[in-house]
Chains A and B, each alone.
Chain A
Amino acid sequence: MLDTDFFRRWMAATAAAVDREADRLTELDAAIGDADHGSNMRRGFAAVSDVLEKEAPAAPGAVLTLAGRHLISTVGGASGPLYGTLLRRTGKALGDAPEVTSDQLAEALGAGVAAVAQLGGAQAGDKTMLDALLPAVEVLGGSFGEARDAALAGALATVPLLARKGRASYLGERSIGHQDPGAASAALLVGALAEAAGPNGGGGA
């Protein structure tokens, strides 16, 4: 079972990964966007860490809804409402259960990803964060390690794609040959699940 502390570790591991990889995210964004993805995500997840420290929400769902709300209000770029909606909707789907199974998390994250797709009007293959999230959600009920690998593979597979959404879509064919920064950061979020689970927690619950 995944308890509240697991979800706090997930957010902390994501904040650490985003902080560590911020320069790479910004470099990816400089190629096809406006070169602020790393700093925006770092600011957003630093705020998430702060508020989780201060408010200590008491259930898995509450951790994610609080995190999502703070991402929307602190990021300032499009990744704020997108990641904020992802976490908030996932948290809502988890309700106020004190512990959840990894299957329940997979299902809730599926609802969150669907909300992101609806908000941005994007689908698989548009060269967005969905290209990392959709394959990860599919295998998440199995193991977090598998989900991490699927998200990474999905992010790498955005390199040859033509961007159809967001600022990068203005570039048309020139967006081809670059990894999508949103897919890269989404892979960090999914990878942090395996980190939060620890060396023995990568399997199903």
Chain B
Amino acid sequence: MSEEKQVGIVLVSHSRPVAEAVAELARGLAAGGATAPVAAAGGTSAGGLGTSTELIAAAARAVDRGAGVALIVDLGSAVLTVKSMLAEGDELPEGARLVDAPFVEGAVAALVTASAGGDLGTVEAAATDAYDYRKA
């Protein structure tokens, strides 16, 4: 399945370190060699807390292999920025989709599924299912 086009994952957080660390965590837990493409888009372009359309668009382009891009976001302006980009703009590649999922668990589930060759719908379902892992 690894020759198939893989779904790309973009992690959008208010914080650059959070987005990068979660990408690193997901790569580590997906393990077993090469993973599907994943990119972090955290913080503002200037490196502060917030969200940047430029960073999000660049990350989406970087992971787009033609099989769709799943965007996983943390909260507030990360959600609204991606929604407004999808609603109006042309900055995101064809097949980009906002996935309703918890940030950390959803990122891991999405990357594992995308690396196994899952299509965009399957990746989205796996990430959303992460809401159901009860911890207590």
Q: Which of A185-205 contact B (CB under 8 A)?
A: none
Check if B53 sits within 8 Å of A73, measured CB to CB: yes
Residue A127 CB within 8 A of the other chain: no
Check if A85 sits within 8 Å of B87, measured CB to CB: yes
Q: Which of A91-137 contact B (CB under 8 A)?
A: 92, 115, 119-120
Check if B88 sits within 8 Å of A88, measured CB to CB: yes
Annotate B45-56 by CB proximity to A: 1 below 8 A, 0 otherwise: 000101111100
Distance in Å: Cβ of A39 to nearest Cβ of chain B: 10
Residue A8 CB within 8 A of the other chain: no
Q: Which residue in A76, A85, A92, A167 is a CB contact (below 8 Å) of B84? A: A85
Tally chain B residues at the interface, Cβ within 8 Å: 17
**Bound CA span A166–B50, Å:** 14
**Bound CA span A147–B56, Å:** 36
Q: Tell me which residues across on chain A come within 8 A of B44, comparing CB atoms.
A: 76
**Bound CA span A92–B89, Å:** 12
Check if A76 sits within 8 Å of B76, measured CB to CB: no
Known contacts A77-B77, A80-B77, A166-B76: A119-B53 contact under CB 8 Å: no
Residue A78 CB within 8 A of the other chain: yes
Distance in Å: Cβ of B60 to nearest Cβ of chain A: 14
Annotate B87-112 by CB proximity to A: 1 below 8 A, 0 otherwise: 11100000000000000000000000
Check if A76 sits within 8 Å of B54, measured CB to CB: no
Check if B52 sits within 8 Å of A82, measured CB to CB: no
Q: Which of B52, B87, B88 has the most CB of A within 10 A?
A: B88
Q: Which residue in B50, B54, B80 is a CB contact (below 8 Å) of A119? A: B80
Residue A164 CB within 8 A of the other chain: no
**Bound CA span A151–B84, Å:** 24
Q: Which residue of B lies closest to A88 (CB)?
A: B88
**Bound CA span A73–B81, Å:** 9
Check if B85 sits within 8 Å of A72, measured CB to CB: yes
Check if A119 sits within 8 Å of B87, measured CB to CB: yes
Check if B89 sits within 8 Å of A69, measured CB to CB: yes
Q: Which residue in B48, B85, B87 is a CB contact (below 8 Å) of A76? A: B48
**Bound CA span A120–B84, Å:** 10
Q: Tell me which residues across on chain A come within 8 A of B54, comparing CB atoms.
A: 73
Check if B76 sits within 8 Å of A167, measured CB to CB: yes
Q: Which residue in A69, A73, A82, A88 is a CB contact (below 8 Å) of B80? A: A82
Q: Which of B50, B51, B76, B84 has the most CB of A within 10 A?
A: B84
**Bound CA span A166–B87, Å:** 20
Distance in Å: Cβ of A70 to nearest Cβ of chain B: 10
Q: Identify the 7 closest CB pairs spanning chains A and B, nearest first.
A: A76-B50, A81-B84, A78-B77, A81-B80, A76-B44, A73-B53, A81-B81
Complex A-B: 5 CB contacts under 8 Å:
A76-B50, A78-B80, A80-B77, A84-B84, A119-B84
